Structure 1
Amino acid sequence: MKIFVAVLSISLLGVVGVVNSQSFYRFSGGRDAIVSMGTGTSTYFGDLKDPGEYMDAKPSLNIGLQHFLTPRISARTEITWFQLRGDDSDANEEGRVVRNLSFRSDNFELNIVGIINALPNGTKFYQRPQFNPYGFVGIGLLYFNPKAQVPSTDWNGTELQKAGEYIALQPLQTEGVDYSRIGIVIPFGAGIKYKANPFINISLEGGYRLTFTDYLDDVSTTYQLHNSVEDPLVQAMADRRHELSLPPLGLELNHIRGNSSNNDGYFLFNLKLEYYLPPNVLSFKKKRRNQRPFKNIQRRRR
């Protein structure tokens, strides 16, 4: 993971370097950088979601910076906050209902993607197409933190001190696994831009995230043996069937709790507002040119 963070940092520096070094003025008329803000929905796919269910969406917010490298190709870095939720009580399958697990999570994603536009921009930035579909793919870093509400009592009927509170599940190791809350994602998707005026685009974008973890929802493999869990809180959070007056499932080894054959994932759908930044905002060329006359004046005085 440290190696990936280093690679991501170098990639970010590379994007900044490209922004400062590329000459796109002959295509864009000096405005080759775009700042964007957006809002939309996030949809979770995992063990606490019915197959084929796509409408259980939660809120998301994002801000990004995009730079055109050619009339059709651009690079973008973006940070997104979004929520994910899943609940067995809403399931269509009886087996999931009696499992009685749930989670909610506030997440952050930082990504870098390459974007290919279907149509090239014109000679000047304001001569771009009125509508322009595009596709994107890249790499990102995800922070997730699944939480669940503490039940009123433990398996012995003793009232729990944090009853009703939402607490992080990863520190509890409900399946005996110390997984990381930071992971790699592969974002890919498509969108369409509409030129609202010479300086502003409005875009609709949808993108799926491939992840390399099955613990976005804290559910993946099997129950721990019920009697081997000493902490009553962990025992109550790992197997919540006592809330339905049902016996525990962790009485035998390797009793299935989740499906580890498929990693979790999520889908982001956003409405974005894009603004073309003034020329040289992200370049040092103009500053360097402005410094030269001052140096010449000093030399003449000497």
Structure 2
Amino acid sequence: MKLTKSTGILLLFMAVPFFSFAQDWHVGAFVGISNYSGDLVKQKVDMRYSRPSLGLLVRKDINRYLTIRAAFTWGIATGADSTSKQADLVARNLSFKTNIFEGSLIAELNFLDIEEKGFTPYVFAGVAGFGFDPTAKDQSGNKVRLRPLGTEGQGLPQYPDRQPYDLFSFSFPFGAGVKAILNDKWTLGFEIGLRPTLTDYLDDVSRTYVDQNTLLAYRGQKSVDMAYRGDEVTAKGTTPGTYPPDGTTRGSAKYKDWYSFSGVTITYRLGGGNGWGKQKAMRCPVFR
């Protein structure tokens, strides 16, 4: 079919957004570590409890200084009283571990034009939804799911203000990083990201102990055993305790739990061209 000059120009302008669309999208992966902060680990990052994390991500360059990122990331949160420097926490003797599966939408603010400079520091912030399911090992070494046990009286009629917690919650990722262009296709980065959450039960610990006999009657011996573990303490200089009275502090509901993902990103640019910076000259088509 013979194209007129005006038709050719129209098609060219229609195609430009598609070239731009391909050039401004990146797909890639994240490899790093995860950490937890809450009732069992006070520090925001405690390397003794760092665990591996992996993720997949998609980036879209909105302009030279703003990038939007969607990602799915897996990591592990874990902690234990046994390593605390506080004697009362060692005596409490609680521990937990959970997988975290996070989906996030994050905005990155780039300080430099990466196409011009070859690298840029950036800060980021966003929102994420994540799933978790805390577990702990009993005295026999068997893994036990903690939420069904209602260790703090969740769901019991005697404690109407304590309902079973959701295993899905929201967090608010923020942090900083740096990324550098390796070539026209590949970009390498490193970032540190913290996640304050809307749950205080990432570790299954939040408020106070409930009455032992009530917990035993409604939830069984396993719930009692996992709610209070001070009777299992074997640390030097620590005397095994007995189940505390109803209302005794078990955790603190004042602050919600945190987790973090930090590590390396590697992304691949879809399509051709150099993106936002140094644009390769395009030969204009000749229509006859």
Who is 2:7 aligned against?
none
Contact 1:24 1:69 in 2 (8 A): no
- 1-side partners of 2:256 and 2:39: how far apart? 9
Who is 1:34 aligned against?
26
- Match for 2:83: what amino acid? D
- Match for 1:171: what amino acid? P
- 2-side partners of 1:67 and 1:58: how far apart? 29
Residue 206 (1) aligns with residue 192 (2): yes
Deviations 1:9-67 (A, max 9, x none): xxxxxxxxxxxxx94856x8x51100010110111101101447632311100100111
- SS in structure 2 at match of 1:89: helix
- SS in structure 1 at match of 2:52: strand
Aligned length in residues: 241
Who is 2:215 aligned against?
229
- SS in structure 1 at match of 2:182: strand
Who is 1:146 aligned against?
134
Deviations 1:245-284 (A, max 9, x none): 733233x2210000110111012111111110126xxxxx
Contact 1:42 1:83 in 2 (8 A): yes
- CA offset at residue 243 of structure 1? 1.3
Q: Pick the aligned partner of 1:166 from 135, 143, 152.
A: 143
Contact 2:35 2:45 in 1 (8 A): no
Change (3 A) 1:174 1:110: same
Q: Pick the aligned partner of 2:178 from 180, 192, 211.
A: 192
Where does structure 1 lack aligned partners over 5 or more consecutive residues? 1-21, 122-126, 152-162, 280-302
Contact 1:249 1:255 in 2 (8 A): no
Which of 1 and 2 has higher RCO (CA within 8 Å, sep 6+)?
A: 2
Residue 175 (1) aligns with residue 174 (2): no
Contact 2:153 2:215 in 1 (8 A): no
Contact 1:24 1:32 in 2 (8 A): no
- SS in structure 1 at match of 2:47: coil
Contact 1:226 1:248 in 2 (8 A): no
Calculate the TM-score normalised by the size of structure 1.
0.75
- 2-side partners of 1:261 and 1:133: how far apart? 34
Who is 1:255 aligned against?
248
Query: Percent identity of the aligned residues?
Result: 32
Q: Pick the aligned partner of 1:115 from 77, 86, 108.
A: 108
- Match for 2:205: what amino acid? V
Deviates more, 1:258-267 or 1:237-246: 237-246
- SS in structure 2 at match of 1:197: coil
Who is 1:14 aligned against?
none
Who is 2:257 aligned against?
264
Contact 1:40 1:59 in 2 (8 A): yes
Calculate the TM-score normalised by the size of structure 2.
0.78
